[in-house]
Every structure is written in C-alpha cells, then in structure tokens.
Amino acid sequence: MTAPRKGARRRDSEVTRLLPRPLLAVLLTVLLVFVLVPVVYVLSASLNSDAAVARGDFLPTEFTTTNYAKIWTTVALGSGLVNSVLVAGSVALVCAFLSVSTAYVLVRFAFRGKLTILRLLLALQSIPGTLLLLPVFVLFSSASTYVGIQVVGTRWGLFITYLTFALPFSTWVMVTYLRGLPRELEEAARIDGASSWRILTRIVVPLSWPGIVVSGIFAFLLGWNDVLFASIMTTPDSRTAAVALQVFGATSEGGALPVYGQMMAASLVCAVPVVVLYLVFQRYLVGGLTAGGVK
C-alpha cells in the first residue's frame, strides 16, 4: 500500500477544515483582541499610579511596583489567599477522589436505584445556587443553637458548602470518563483474585488521572471564584480572597481617589494560582474534557 501523497493530505485537511483559512485567521485575531486587551489593561493599570488610572490612561507614563507592595496591608490579601487555598484546595482533593469512587460504583455495579441516583445528580446541576443561599445559611446557623457546633464563620463550614455543590458535577465527569475505560482490565484483575478496592486503587485511579484532574480543577474553581456563599459564611478571619477583593473594591469607591492601581494588582495576584494550575495540568485537562466524546 502506497502512502498518500502530500498534496492529497493537504486537500483532505482543507476539505475537513470547518472554516476557510483567511476567515479562521480573522476570527482568531478578533478573539485574541477581546481576550488580551483587558488583560493588558489590568497589567498596565497595576503598574501605574492611582491618579493616572483615574484619568483614564491606558499605558503608564512611568512604571511603578508600589501597588504590589501596598495590597498586602491595604487589602489584607495574604490571609484571604491562605483561606482560599486551604478551602478550595481541600475541596478539590476530597471531591476528586470521592467522585472517582462514587462513579466507579455507579458505572460498574448494578443495584436498585442506580438510575435514580444518576438523575438526581443531574437534577442538582439545574438548581441555581442563589436559591439555596438562604436555606444553607439558616441550616448552618441553626446548628450552633440546636447542636452546639459553630459552622458559620469557619473554614470547614465553607468547605462543606462547596463540597455539596462540586461533588455532583465531579461525579458526572467521572461517570462519563469511566464509561470509556475497558472492562477487560478489571475482569482480568478480578480473575487473578483482586478485590474491588484493589481494582479501584491499582487500575481505575491510575487510568483515570485526566478525569480526576478535571473534576478537581472544576471543584477548585468553584471555591476560588465564589463570592456569594463566602460573603455570608465567613468572618474577617476566615474571609477568602474573592470576598477580600469585593470588600476592598466597595470601600475604596467611597474615598476621594479610588485606589484602582491596587485593585488591579490584587486582581492579578489572585489570578496567578488559577493560571499556574491550568498550565501545570493542561495535558490532563485536554484528555479529561474530551473523554467520552468519541466511542
């Protein structure tokens, strides 16, 4: 069998291309402009003085890094970042490994009510979080009265809140991923005498790293970006970085000169962990998000 010629491969790629090359180049350029222009403005404003940013200068006349030094005392960003990392990181780790074990049971075992559980997990995703804000707060605040356990204002109370919302979605991601794994590997291990727990830890988990990373990152982003629940479930000591930014923005607007430069610097500092997370786990994200799409 002769290999296809270079011209034939090029024609095939042109036929399968969704858009013509010039139109694709224009579309990508427009998308890059929409994405990069706000990022460049935030970066330039963080290196500019507050007066220059208030005047509307897009590029700084003189670069200064004082904004990055002031935010640690003005915003108290350090404690907020620590709380966000602790809460969102613990939610990501627990949610990732709970979802893979739950999805393994739902995919590989047959029992009464399995389809109902899957439908309930899907139905939970359609409920807006704003509708559950008041019930969750009332439930957790009443725990100190009836049970004697203080939940509101603690990190672990915020952890339970985020885990409640992140676990159904992460379980659905892992259910989709585990359905694409071959059953033959597990059957061969079971013939050799491996238990279900050993199959899960030695076969399923190592093969499911892309899906685990995707579910963990989405759970991390839920805890990192949330302002609604964190604003009512935390105190100044347990306040997350997102709430610290919101409070800083609200208080600075009342001043004679809003500290826009510090606000931009604080926003960039809070965005760095998420960018690093995506860069580190990029190859796992591509495999996990496309899993189950092609059978």
Q: What is the CA radius of gyration of the chain?
A: 24
Supply the pLDDT for residue 256.
Answer: 54
pLDDT higher than 90, residue 77 = no
Q: Assess contact for 260 and 58: CB atoms under 8 A.
A: no
Please report which confidence band the pLDDT of residue 159 belongs to, taking 50, 70 and 90 as the band edges.
Answer: very high
Average the pLDDT over 1-24 and give the result.
Answer: 58
pLDDT higher than 80, residue 257 = no
Supply the pLDDT for residue 132.
Answer: 85
Tokens of 7: 């011209």
CA 36/CA 34 separation, integer angstroms? 6
Rounded to 5°, angle at Cα 239 from 38 and 130:
75
Maximum distance among all alpha carbons in the chain?
A: 79
Single-letter code of the amino acid located at 3: A
The answer for residues whose C-beta is within 8 angstroms of residue 233's C-beta and 6 or more apart is 137, 140, 152, 153, 157, 158, 161
Supply the pLDDT for residue 17.
Answer: 60
Q: Assess contact for 42 and 60: CB atoms under 8 A.
A: no
Supply the pLDDT for residue 289.
Answer: 54
Q: Assess contact for 108 and 175: CB atoms under 8 A.
A: no
pLDDT higher than 90, residue 93 = yes
CB atoms within 10 A of CB 266: 27
CA 57/CA 38 separation, integer angstroms? 14
Share of the chain above pLDDT 70, in %: 88
Return the DSSP state at 131: G
Residue 189 backbone dihedrals phi, psi, to 5 degrees:
-65, -35
pLDDT higher than 50, residue 57 = yes
CA 66/CA 186 separation, integer angstroms? 58
CA 57/CA 64 separation, integer angstroms? 14
Supply the pLDDT for residue 86.
Answer: 93
Enumerate the H helices of 109-240 as residue ranges: 114-125, 133-146, 155-178, 183-191, 196-199, 205-207, 209-225, 228-233
Average the pLDDT over 34-56 and give the result.
Answer: 83
Could you state, in order of their start, the residue ranges of all structural domains in the chain?
A: 19-64, 78-239+278-290
Tokens of 161: 């809140």
CA 227/CA 84 separation, integer angstroms? 11
CA distances from 218 to 90, 92, 205, 270 (A): 13, 8, 18, 17
Q: 177-226: per-residue pLDDT in tens?
A: 888 888 888 888 888 888 888 888 888 888 888 888 888 888 999 889 88
Q: Which superfamily, per CATH, for 78-239+278-290?
A: MetI-like (1.10.3720.10)
Average the pLDDT over 80-92 and give the result.
Answer: 92
Q: 104-126: per-residue pLDDT in tens?
A: 988 888 888 888 888 888 887 77
